[in-house]
Structure 1
Amino acid sequence: MKFLSLALFAFLLAGCSSGPRIDHSYTASGQNSRVQYIVLHYTSTDLPHSLELLTKEEVSAHYLINAVPPTIYQLVDENRRAWHAGVSDWQGRTWLNGTTIGIEMVNQGYFDTPNGRYWQPYAQPQIDALIVLLKDIMQRHHLPPGSIIGHSDIAPQRKVDPGPMFPWKQLADAGLMPWPNAEVVARQQAIFAVSLPSVAWFQQQLAQQGYTVPSSGVLDEETRNVIRAFQMKYRQALYDGQPDAETAALLLEVNRLSKS
Protein backbone atom coordinates (compact mmCIF):
# COMPACT_ATOMS: atom_id res chain seq x y z
CA MET A 1 0.00 0.00 0.00
CA LYS A 2 2.84 2.37 0.87
CA PHE A 3 4.46 1.68 -2.52
CA LEU A 4 1.13 2.30 -4.32
CA SER A 5 0.66 5.63 -2.55
CA LEU A 6 4.15 6.79 -3.52
CA ALA A 7 3.57 5.80 -7.14
CA LEU A 8 0.25 7.68 -7.23
CA PHE A 9 1.87 10.77 -5.68
CA ALA A 10 4.66 10.69 -8.29
CA PHE A 11 2.10 10.43 -11.08
CA LEU A 12 0.18 13.46 -9.79
CA LEU A 13 3.37 15.48 -9.54
CA ALA A 14 4.30 14.59 -13.10
CA GLY A 15 0.89 15.69 -14.31
CA CYS A 16 1.11 19.01 -12.47
CA SER A 17 4.55 19.77 -13.90
CA SER A 18 3.48 19.24 -17.50
CA GLY A 19 0.19 21.11 -17.11
CA PRO A 20 -2.94 20.83 -19.25
CA ARG A 21 -2.70 20.81 -23.02
CA ILE A 22 -3.42 24.18 -24.65
CA ASP A 23 -5.62 23.95 -27.73
CA HIS A 24 -4.82 26.62 -30.38
CA SER A 25 -7.29 25.44 -33.00
CA TYR A 26 -9.86 28.20 -32.29
CA THR A 27 -9.39 31.98 -32.74
CA ALA A 28 -11.77 34.64 -31.43
CA SER A 29 -13.00 37.22 -33.94
CA GLY A 30 -13.49 39.85 -31.23
CA GLN A 31 -9.95 41.12 -30.89
CA ASN A 32 -7.51 43.70 -32.20
CA SER A 33 -3.99 44.94 -31.58
CA ARG A 34 -3.11 46.33 -28.16
CA VAL A 35 -1.40 49.20 -30.07
CA GLN A 36 -3.60 52.28 -30.39
CA TYR A 37 -1.02 54.98 -31.14
CA ILE A 38 2.59 55.54 -32.16
CA VAL A 39 4.43 58.15 -30.11
CA LEU A 40 7.38 60.07 -31.57
CA HIS A 41 10.26 61.41 -29.48
CA TYR A 42 13.72 62.88 -29.86
CA THR A 43 16.55 61.63 -27.66
CA SER A 44 18.17 65.00 -26.78
CA THR A 45 21.61 63.40 -27.23
CA ASP A 46 23.87 61.55 -29.69
CA LEU A 47 23.66 57.92 -30.82
CA PRO A 48 26.06 56.27 -28.32
CA HIS A 49 24.43 57.99 -25.35
CA SER A 50 20.94 57.28 -26.77
CA LEU A 51 21.71 53.57 -27.01
CA GLU A 52 23.09 53.55 -23.48
CA LEU A 53 20.09 55.35 -22.03
CA LEU A 54 17.53 53.22 -23.88
CA THR A 55 19.13 49.86 -23.14
CA LYS A 56 20.72 50.23 -19.70
CA GLU A 57 18.35 52.58 -17.87
CA GLU A 58 14.68 52.30 -16.93
CA VAL A 59 13.54 54.40 -19.90
CA SER A 60 13.12 52.48 -23.16
CA ALA A 61 11.51 52.60 -26.59
CA HIS A 62 10.51 50.06 -29.18
CA TYR A 63 12.62 51.68 -31.89
CA LEU A 64 15.54 54.10 -32.16
CA ILE A 65 16.35 55.74 -35.50
CA ASN A 66 19.78 57.17 -36.21
CA ALA A 67 20.34 59.94 -38.73
CA VAL A 68 23.64 59.17 -40.50
CA PRO A 69 23.75 56.48 -41.62
CA PRO A 70 19.97 55.95 -41.30
CA THR A 71 19.63 52.91 -39.07
CA ILE A 72 16.58 51.53 -37.27
CA TYR A 73 17.32 49.75 -33.98
CA GLN A 74 14.56 47.63 -32.48
CA LEU A 75 15.10 47.69 -28.72
CA VAL A 76 11.80 46.28 -27.42
CA ASP A 77 9.48 43.73 -29.01
CA GLU A 78 6.22 45.35 -30.11
CA ASN A 79 4.25 42.87 -28.01
CA ARG A 80 5.96 44.15 -24.87
CA ARG A 81 5.60 47.42 -23.02
CA ALA A 82 8.34 50.04 -23.40
CA TRP A 83 8.83 52.84 -20.88
CA HIS A 84 8.73 55.91 -23.11
CA ALA A 85 5.51 57.83 -22.47
CA GLY A 86 5.46 58.36 -18.71
CA VAL A 87 2.48 60.18 -17.24
CA SER A 88 0.40 60.74 -20.37
CA ASP A 89 -3.12 61.31 -21.67
CA TRP A 90 -4.68 61.23 -25.13
CA GLN A 91 -8.30 60.96 -26.22
CA GLY A 92 -9.38 59.88 -22.75
CA ARG A 93 -6.71 57.19 -22.39
CA THR A 94 -4.06 57.50 -19.70
CA TRP A 95 -0.63 56.01 -18.96
CA LEU A 96 -0.05 55.21 -22.61
CA ASN A 97 2.99 52.94 -22.29
CA GLY A 98 0.69 49.92 -22.49
CA THR A 99 -1.14 50.95 -25.67
CA THR A 100 1.56 52.62 -27.76
CA ILE A 101 4.70 51.98 -29.75
CA GLY A 102 7.45 54.43 -28.90
CA ILE A 103 9.91 55.64 -31.53
CA GLU A 104 12.95 57.67 -30.50
CA MET A 105 14.89 59.67 -33.08
CA VAL A 106 18.49 60.63 -32.48
CA ASN A 107 18.27 64.41 -32.33
CA GLN A 108 19.76 66.90 -29.90
CA GLY A 109 16.48 68.78 -29.50
CA TYR A 110 17.25 72.38 -28.62
CA PHE A 111 19.99 74.58 -27.22
CA ASP A 112 19.43 77.91 -25.47
CA THR A 113 21.92 80.48 -26.77
CA PRO A 114 22.40 84.24 -26.20
CA ASN A 115 20.55 84.74 -29.50
CA GLY A 116 17.61 82.56 -28.53
CA ARG A 117 16.66 78.92 -28.70
CA TYR A 118 18.17 76.79 -31.48
CA TRP A 119 16.35 73.63 -32.57
CA GLN A 120 18.29 70.94 -34.38
CA PRO A 121 16.72 70.02 -37.74
CA TYR A 122 16.06 66.41 -38.66
CA ALA A 123 18.13 64.72 -41.36
CA GLN A 124 16.07 63.72 -44.39
CA PRO A 125 17.43 60.12 -44.50
CA GLN A 126 16.26 59.72 -40.90
CA ILE A 127 12.75 60.91 -41.80
CA ASP A 128 12.69 58.64 -44.85
CA ALA A 129 13.53 55.66 -42.62
CA LEU A 130 10.88 56.73 -40.12
CA ILE A 131 8.18 56.89 -42.81
CA VAL A 132 9.00 53.37 -43.99
CA LEU A 133 8.82 52.09 -40.41
CA LEU A 134 5.56 53.94 -39.69
CA LYS A 135 3.87 52.53 -42.78
CA ASP A 136 4.87 49.02 -41.77
CA ILE A 137 3.67 49.41 -38.18
CA MET A 138 0.37 50.99 -39.17
CA GLN A 139 -0.36 48.27 -41.70
CA ARG A 140 0.43 45.43 -39.32
CA HIS A 141 -1.58 46.90 -36.43
CA HIS A 142 -4.40 48.23 -38.65
CA LEU A 143 -4.01 51.78 -37.33
CA PRO A 144 -6.02 54.56 -38.97
CA PRO A 145 -4.39 57.79 -40.24
CA GLY A 146 -3.87 60.15 -37.35
CA SER A 147 -2.66 57.49 -34.93
CA ILE A 148 0.82 59.05 -34.87
CA ILE A 149 1.29 61.59 -32.08
CA GLY A 150 4.14 63.41 -30.41
CA HIS A 151 5.33 63.21 -26.84
CA SER A 152 4.33 66.86 -26.57
CA ASP A 153 0.74 65.89 -27.48
CA ILE A 154 0.35 63.36 -24.68
CA ALA A 155 2.36 65.29 -22.05
CA PRO A 156 2.19 68.98 -23.04
CA GLN A 157 2.90 70.24 -19.53
CA ARG A 158 6.35 68.69 -19.39
CA LYS A 159 7.48 67.62 -22.90
CA VAL A 160 8.14 69.42 -26.20
CA ASP A 161 9.50 66.59 -28.37
CA PRO A 162 9.65 65.91 -31.25
CA GLY A 163 9.70 69.72 -31.44
CA PRO A 164 8.85 72.37 -34.05
CA MET A 165 11.50 71.16 -36.50
CA PHE A 166 9.86 67.77 -36.94
CA PRO A 167 8.34 67.60 -40.47
CA TRP A 168 4.78 66.48 -39.72
CA LYS A 169 3.69 67.61 -43.19
CA GLN A 170 5.93 64.96 -44.74
CA LEU A 171 4.06 62.30 -42.79
CA ALA A 172 0.80 63.74 -44.09
CA ASP A 173 2.12 63.75 -47.67
CA ALA A 174 3.00 60.06 -47.19
CA GLY A 175 -0.63 59.32 -46.26
CA LEU A 176 0.08 58.72 -42.59
CA MET A 177 -2.03 61.52 -41.11
CA PRO A 178 -4.65 64.08 -42.21
CA TRP A 179 -3.49 67.63 -42.88
CA PRO A 180 -5.52 70.87 -42.85
CA ASN A 181 -6.42 72.34 -46.24
CA ALA A 182 -4.65 75.70 -46.56
CA GLU A 183 -7.49 77.38 -48.48
CA VAL A 184 -10.11 76.26 -45.97
CA VAL A 185 -7.92 77.48 -43.11
CA ALA A 186 -7.37 80.88 -44.78
CA ARG A 187 -11.12 81.44 -45.27
CA GLN A 188 -11.92 80.47 -41.70
CA GLN A 189 -9.03 82.55 -40.36
CA ALA A 190 -10.51 85.66 -41.97
CA ILE A 191 -13.78 85.00 -40.15
CA PHE A 192 -12.07 84.42 -36.81
CA ALA A 193 -9.98 87.57 -37.28
CA VAL A 194 -13.21 89.57 -37.03
CA SER A 195 -14.47 87.69 -33.98
CA LEU A 196 -12.04 85.50 -32.10
CA PRO A 197 -13.60 82.58 -30.21
CA SER A 198 -13.43 82.50 -26.42
CA VAL A 199 -10.76 80.69 -24.44
CA ALA A 200 -13.41 78.13 -23.48
CA TRP A 201 -13.95 77.43 -27.20
CA PHE A 202 -10.23 76.80 -27.70
CA GLN A 203 -10.19 74.48 -24.70
CA GLN A 204 -13.18 72.55 -26.03
CA GLN A 205 -11.64 72.18 -29.50
CA LEU A 206 -8.30 71.04 -28.08
CA ALA A 207 -10.07 68.48 -25.91
CA GLN A 208 -11.96 67.24 -28.97
CA GLN A 209 -8.63 66.75 -30.73
CA GLY A 210 -7.45 64.56 -27.85
CA TYR A 211 -5.50 66.85 -25.55
CA THR A 212 -5.97 66.96 -21.81
CA VAL A 213 -6.68 70.64 -21.21
CA PRO A 214 -8.45 72.70 -18.52
CA SER A 215 -12.09 73.61 -19.16
CA SER A 216 -12.05 76.73 -17.01
CA GLY A 217 -12.37 79.33 -19.76
CA VAL A 218 -9.22 80.95 -18.39
CA LEU A 219 -6.03 81.36 -20.43
CA ASP A 220 -3.72 79.86 -17.83
CA GLU A 221 -0.24 78.40 -18.30
CA GLU A 222 -1.58 74.85 -18.73
CA THR A 223 -3.85 75.95 -21.55
CA ARG A 224 -1.05 77.89 -23.25
CA ASN A 225 1.17 74.80 -23.08
CA VAL A 226 -1.48 72.73 -24.84
CA ILE A 227 -2.01 75.40 -27.50
CA ARG A 228 1.77 75.52 -27.99
CA ALA A 229 1.89 71.74 -28.48
CA PHE A 230 -0.81 71.98 -31.15
CA GLN A 231 0.96 74.87 -32.86
CA MET A 232 4.31 73.03 -32.91
CA LYS A 233 2.63 70.38 -35.04
CA TYR A 234 0.42 72.42 -37.37
CA ARG A 235 1.93 75.95 -37.36
CA GLN A 236 5.63 75.66 -36.76
CA ALA A 237 6.45 79.22 -37.81
CA LEU A 238 4.88 80.55 -34.60
CA TYR A 239 4.21 78.49 -31.48
CA ASP A 240 3.73 81.11 -28.78
CA GLY A 241 0.78 79.43 -27.08
CA GLN A 242 -1.56 82.33 -27.85
CA PRO A 243 -5.15 81.66 -29.00
CA ASP A 244 -5.21 83.61 -32.29
CA ALA A 245 -7.35 83.47 -35.43
CA GLU A 246 -5.03 81.16 -37.41
CA THR A 247 -4.78 78.67 -34.56
CA ALA A 248 -8.57 78.68 -34.24
CA ALA A 249 -8.96 78.01 -37.97
CA LEU A 250 -6.43 75.18 -37.85
CA LEU A 251 -8.15 73.61 -34.87
CA LEU A 252 -11.53 73.69 -36.55
CA GLU A 253 -10.17 72.15 -39.76
CA VAL A 254 -8.11 69.45 -38.01
CA ASN A 255 -11.12 68.41 -35.94
CA ARG A 256 -13.27 68.30 -39.08
CA LEU A 257 -10.73 66.01 -40.73
CA SER A 258 -10.63 63.80 -37.64
CA LYS A 259 -14.36 63.18 -37.94
CA SER A 260 -14.29 62.31 -41.65
Structure 2
Amino acid sequence: MDPALLELALTHRSYAYEHGRIPTNERLEFLGDAVLGIVITDALYHRHPDLPEGRLAKLRASVVNMHALAGVGRAVGLGALLRLGRGEELTGGRDKESIVADAVEAVLGAVYLDHGLETARAVVHRLFDPLLQEAPGRGAGLDWKTSLQELASVEGLGAPEYHVGEEGPDHAKTFRAQVLLGGAARGSGSGRTKKEAEQRAAAAAYEDIRGTEVEGDGPAGNPAGPAPAGGPVASPRLPVLDLPTPQANGSVGSPVPPAASAGD
Protein backbone atom coordinates (compact mmCIF):
# COMPACT_ATOMS: atom_id res chain seq x y z
CA MET A 1 0.00 0.00 0.00
CA ASP A 2 1.27 3.48 -0.87
CA PRO A 3 2.54 4.82 2.50
CA ALA A 4 1.62 8.41 1.61
CA LEU A 5 -1.95 7.41 0.78
CA LEU A 6 -2.30 5.41 3.99
CA GLU A 7 -0.92 8.36 5.97
CA LEU A 8 -3.54 10.62 4.37
CA ALA A 9 -6.27 8.13 5.27
CA LEU A 10 -5.17 8.37 8.90
CA THR A 11 -5.03 12.18 9.04
CA HIS A 12 -7.92 13.64 11.05
CA ARG A 13 -8.96 17.23 10.45
CA SER A 14 -7.83 18.20 13.97
CA TYR A 15 -4.25 17.30 13.04
CA ALA A 16 -4.49 19.09 9.70
CA TYR A 17 -5.77 22.27 11.36
CA GLU A 18 -2.79 22.36 13.72
CA HIS A 19 -0.27 21.72 10.94
CA GLY A 20 -1.06 24.39 8.39
CA ARG A 21 -4.34 23.03 7.06
CA ILE A 22 -2.77 20.09 5.25
CA PRO A 23 -5.09 17.63 3.45
CA THR A 24 -7.35 15.47 5.63
CA ASN A 25 -8.88 12.02 5.25
CA GLU A 26 -12.38 13.37 4.62
CA ARG A 27 -12.34 12.94 0.82
CA LEU A 28 -11.07 9.37 1.21
CA GLU A 29 -13.78 8.78 3.82
CA PHE A 30 -16.39 9.93 1.29
CA LEU A 31 -15.00 7.51 -1.29
CA GLY A 32 -14.62 4.62 1.14
CA ASP A 33 -18.21 5.01 2.31
CA ALA A 34 -19.35 4.35 -1.26
CA VAL A 35 -16.98 1.40 -1.70
CA LEU A 36 -18.14 -0.19 1.55
CA GLY A 37 -21.76 0.42 0.65
CA ILE A 38 -21.61 -1.27 -2.76
CA VAL A 39 -19.64 -4.28 -1.49
CA ILE A 40 -21.93 -4.92 1.48
CA THR A 41 -25.08 -4.29 -0.55
CA ASP A 42 -23.91 -6.66 -3.29
CA ALA A 43 -23.08 -9.37 -0.75
CA LEU A 44 -26.44 -9.10 1.01
CA TYR A 45 -28.35 -9.04 -2.29
CA HIS A 46 -26.80 -12.32 -3.43
CA ARG A 47 -26.70 -14.06 -0.06
CA HIS A 48 -30.38 -13.43 0.68
CA PRO A 49 -32.23 -13.79 -2.66
CA ASP A 50 -35.64 -14.13 -1.01
CA LEU A 51 -35.55 -11.08 1.26
CA PRO A 52 -37.50 -7.92 0.34
CA GLU A 53 -35.83 -4.53 0.01
CA GLY A 54 -36.86 -3.36 3.47
CA ARG A 55 -35.31 -6.34 5.22
CA LEU A 56 -32.12 -6.04 3.15
CA ALA A 57 -31.87 -2.38 4.17
CA LYS A 58 -32.11 -3.35 7.85
CA LEU A 59 -29.41 -5.99 7.44
CA ARG A 60 -27.15 -3.45 5.78
CA ALA A 61 -27.80 -0.98 8.61
CA SER A 62 -26.70 -3.61 11.14
CA VAL A 63 -23.35 -3.95 9.33
CA VAL A 64 -22.69 -0.43 8.04
CA ASN A 65 -23.08 1.94 10.98
CA MET A 66 -20.75 3.94 13.20
CA HIS A 67 -20.77 1.43 16.06
CA ALA A 68 -19.93 -1.53 13.82
CA LEU A 69 -17.26 0.36 11.87
CA ALA A 70 -15.62 1.53 15.08
CA GLY A 71 -15.56 -2.07 16.32
CA VAL A 72 -13.79 -3.15 13.14
CA GLY A 73 -11.31 -0.29 13.45
CA ARG A 74 -10.52 -1.11 17.07
CA ALA A 75 -10.05 -4.79 16.22
CA VAL A 76 -7.22 -3.96 13.80
CA GLY A 77 -5.62 -1.32 16.03
CA LEU A 78 -6.49 1.64 13.83
CA GLY A 79 -6.75 4.10 16.71
CA ALA A 80 -3.06 3.88 17.55
CA LEU A 81 -2.12 4.97 14.02
CA LEU A 82 -4.33 8.04 13.70
CA ARG A 83 -2.85 11.50 13.23
CA LEU A 84 -4.79 13.64 15.70
CA GLY A 85 -4.56 17.19 16.98
CA ARG A 86 -3.64 17.77 20.62
CA GLY A 87 -7.21 18.57 21.57
CA GLU A 88 -8.48 15.22 20.31
CA GLU A 89 -5.57 13.46 21.98
CA LEU A 90 -6.54 14.96 25.33
CA THR A 91 -10.19 13.96 24.97
CA GLY A 92 -9.58 10.34 23.97
CA GLY A 93 -9.95 10.79 20.23
CA ARG A 94 -8.16 7.54 19.47
CA ASP A 95 -11.13 5.61 20.85
CA LYS A 96 -13.97 7.88 19.73
CA GLU A 97 -16.44 5.90 17.66
CA SER A 98 -16.97 8.63 15.08
CA ILE A 99 -13.24 9.18 14.47
CA VAL A 100 -12.34 5.49 14.26
CA ALA A 101 -15.34 4.68 12.06
CA ASP A 102 -14.51 7.52 9.66
CA ALA A 103 -10.91 6.31 9.47
CA VAL A 104 -12.05 2.81 8.50
CA GLU A 105 -13.93 4.27 5.55
CA ALA A 106 -10.97 6.47 4.62
CA VAL A 107 -8.63 3.46 4.60
CA LEU A 108 -11.05 1.56 2.36
CA GLY A 109 -11.11 4.55 0.02
CA ALA A 110 -7.32 4.51 -0.07
CA VAL A 111 -7.25 0.78 -0.86
CA TYR A 112 -9.68 1.37 -3.71
CA LEU A 113 -7.55 4.16 -5.19
CA ASP A 114 -4.33 2.20 -4.86
CA HIS A 115 -5.49 -1.29 -5.85
CA GLY A 116 -8.95 -1.09 -7.42
CA LEU A 117 -12.39 -2.38 -6.55
CA GLU A 118 -11.68 -6.11 -6.42
CA THR A 119 -8.86 -5.76 -3.90
CA ALA A 120 -10.99 -3.31 -1.91
CA ARG A 121 -13.79 -5.89 -2.02
CA ALA A 122 -11.40 -8.54 -0.63
CA VAL A 123 -10.39 -6.25 2.23
CA VAL A 124 -14.02 -5.42 3.02
CA HIS A 125 -14.86 -9.13 3.18
CA ARG A 126 -11.86 -9.85 5.38
CA LEU A 127 -12.95 -7.16 7.83
CA PHE A 128 -16.74 -7.40 7.63
CA ASP A 129 -17.62 -11.03 6.85
CA PRO A 130 -18.16 -11.88 10.54
CA LEU A 131 -20.72 -9.07 10.72
CA LEU A 132 -22.35 -10.18 7.46
CA GLN A 133 -22.73 -13.70 8.82
CA GLU A 134 -24.24 -12.46 12.07
CA ALA A 135 -26.48 -9.84 10.44
CA PRO A 136 -29.69 -11.93 10.27
CA GLY A 137 -29.62 -12.48 14.04
CA ARG A 138 -28.44 -9.04 15.08
CA GLY A 139 -30.44 -6.08 16.30
CA ALA A 140 -31.02 -2.91 14.35
CA GLY A 141 -27.37 -1.97 14.78
CA LEU A 142 -28.15 1.72 14.58
CA ASP A 143 -29.94 1.70 17.93
CA TRP A 144 -29.20 -1.16 20.30
CA LYS A 145 -31.42 0.32 23.01
CA THR A 146 -34.44 0.03 20.74
CA SER A 147 -33.42 -3.47 19.68
CA LEU A 148 -33.03 -4.54 23.31
CA GLN A 149 -36.37 -3.05 24.29
CA GLU A 150 -38.11 -4.93 21.46
CA LEU A 151 -36.36 -8.22 22.32
CA ALA A 152 -37.07 -7.83 26.04
CA SER A 153 -40.75 -7.29 25.25
CA VAL A 154 -40.91 -10.42 23.11
CA GLU A 155 -39.16 -12.46 25.81
CA GLY A 156 -41.38 -11.04 28.58
CA LEU A 157 -38.44 -9.55 30.47
CA GLY A 158 -39.90 -6.11 31.11
CA ALA A 159 -38.46 -2.72 30.26
CA PRO A 160 -34.68 -2.21 30.38
CA GLU A 161 -33.39 0.00 33.21
CA TYR A 162 -30.10 1.87 32.76
CA HIS A 163 -27.69 3.05 35.46
CA VAL A 164 -24.85 5.34 34.34
CA GLY A 165 -21.82 6.55 36.27
CA GLU A 166 -18.86 8.65 35.23
CA GLU A 167 -15.21 8.95 36.14
CA GLY A 168 -12.15 10.94 35.13
CA PRO A 169 -11.48 14.67 34.64
CA ASP A 170 -13.88 16.90 32.72
CA HIS A 171 -11.75 16.88 29.57
CA ALA A 172 -11.51 13.07 29.46
CA LYS A 173 -14.57 11.59 31.14
CA THR A 174 -15.48 7.93 30.80
CA PHE A 175 -19.10 6.90 31.25
CA ARG A 176 -19.99 3.40 32.46
CA ALA A 177 -23.48 2.02 32.00
CA GLN A 178 -25.24 -1.07 33.27
CA VAL A 179 -28.60 -2.33 32.02
CA LEU A 180 -30.98 -4.32 34.22
CA LEU A 181 -33.94 -6.44 33.20
CA GLY A 182 -36.28 -7.61 35.93
CA GLY A 183 -33.79 -6.34 38.49
CA ALA A 184 -30.94 -8.47 37.12
CA ALA A 185 -27.86 -7.02 35.40
CA ARG A 186 -27.71 -8.24 31.79
CA GLY A 187 -25.04 -6.06 30.21
CA SER A 188 -22.54 -3.27 30.77
CA GLY A 189 -20.49 -0.95 28.63
CA SER A 190 -18.38 2.18 28.70
CA GLY A 191 -17.78 5.06 26.35
CA ARG A 192 -16.79 8.69 25.94
CA THR A 193 -20.43 9.78 26.13
CA LYS A 194 -23.44 8.62 28.13
CA LYS A 195 -25.21 7.61 24.91
CA GLU A 196 -22.28 5.52 23.72
CA ALA A 197 -22.01 3.74 27.08
CA GLU A 198 -25.74 2.95 27.12
CA GLN A 199 -25.63 1.66 23.54
CA ARG A 200 -22.75 -0.66 24.38
CA ALA A 201 -24.50 -1.90 27.50
CA ALA A 202 -27.64 -2.54 25.45
CA ALA A 203 -25.62 -4.42 22.82
CA ALA A 204 -24.03 -6.57 25.53
CA ALA A 205 -27.45 -7.33 27.03
CA TYR A 206 -28.84 -8.17 23.59
CA GLU A 207 -25.95 -10.62 23.14
CA ASP A 208 -26.59 -12.12 26.56
CA ILE A 209 -30.25 -12.76 25.80
CA ARG A 210 -29.77 -14.04 22.27
CA GLY A 211 -26.58 -15.94 23.02
CA THR A 212 -24.83 -14.34 20.05
CA GLU A 213 -21.67 -12.27 19.79
CA VAL A 214 -22.13 -8.63 18.86
CA GLU A 215 -19.09 -6.91 17.36
CA GLY A 216 -17.74 -4.08 19.47
CA ASP A 217 -20.16 -4.44 22.40
CA GLY A 218 -19.45 -4.38 26.12
CA PRO A 219 -16.74 -2.22 27.64
CA ALA A 220 -15.06 0.28 25.38
CA GLY A 221 -12.58 -2.12 23.86
CA ASN A 222 -8.91 -1.53 24.51
CA PRO A 223 -8.18 2.14 23.98
CA ALA A 224 -4.87 2.75 22.35
CA GLY A 225 -2.00 3.80 24.54
CA PRO A 226 -0.16 7.10 24.24
CA ALA A 227 1.25 8.02 20.86
CA PRO A 228 3.84 10.57 19.81
CA ALA A 229 2.52 14.12 20.20
CA GLY A 230 -0.40 14.50 17.85
CA GLY A 231 0.64 11.81 15.41
CA PRO A 232 0.77 8.08 14.80
CA VAL A 233 3.66 5.73 15.31
CA ALA A 234 6.32 6.01 12.61
CA SER A 235 5.62 4.23 9.32
CA PRO A 236 1.96 3.33 9.94
CA ARG A 237 1.28 -0.29 9.05
CA LEU A 238 -1.86 -2.40 9.23
CA PRO A 239 -1.34 -6.15 8.72
CA VAL A 240 -4.73 -6.41 7.04
CA LEU A 241 -3.45 -3.96 4.41
CA ASP A 242 -0.21 -5.76 3.53
CA LEU A 243 -1.23 -5.61 -0.10
CA PRO A 244 0.93 -6.66 -3.04
CA THR A 245 1.63 -4.45 -6.02
CA PRO A 246 -0.86 -5.28 -8.81
CA GLN A 247 0.76 -7.35 -11.55
CA ALA A 248 0.95 -6.19 -15.14
CA ASN A 249 -2.19 -8.09 -16.07
CA GLY A 250 -4.09 -6.39 -13.26
CA SER A 251 -4.37 -9.49 -11.10
CA VAL A 252 -3.50 -9.33 -7.44
CA GLY A 253 -1.82 -12.16 -5.59
CA SER A 254 -1.62 -13.04 -1.93
CA PRO A 255 -1.71 -12.10 0.93
CA VAL A 256 -5.17 -10.64 0.30
CA PRO A 257 -7.59 -13.55 -0.22
CA PRO A 258 -9.99 -13.48 -3.17
CA ALA A 259 -13.32 -11.88 -2.41
CA ALA A 260 -16.15 -14.22 -1.56
CA SER A 261 -18.20 -15.09 -4.60
CA ALA A 262 -21.50 -13.33 -4.97
CA GLY A 263 -23.41 -16.52 -4.27
CA ASP A 264 -21.60 -17.33 -1.00
Superposed pair shares fold, TM > 0.5: no
Compute the TM-score of the two structures, normalised by the length of structure 2.
0.24
Larger relative contact order (CA 8 Å, sep ≥ 6): 2
Larger Rg computed on CA atoms: 1
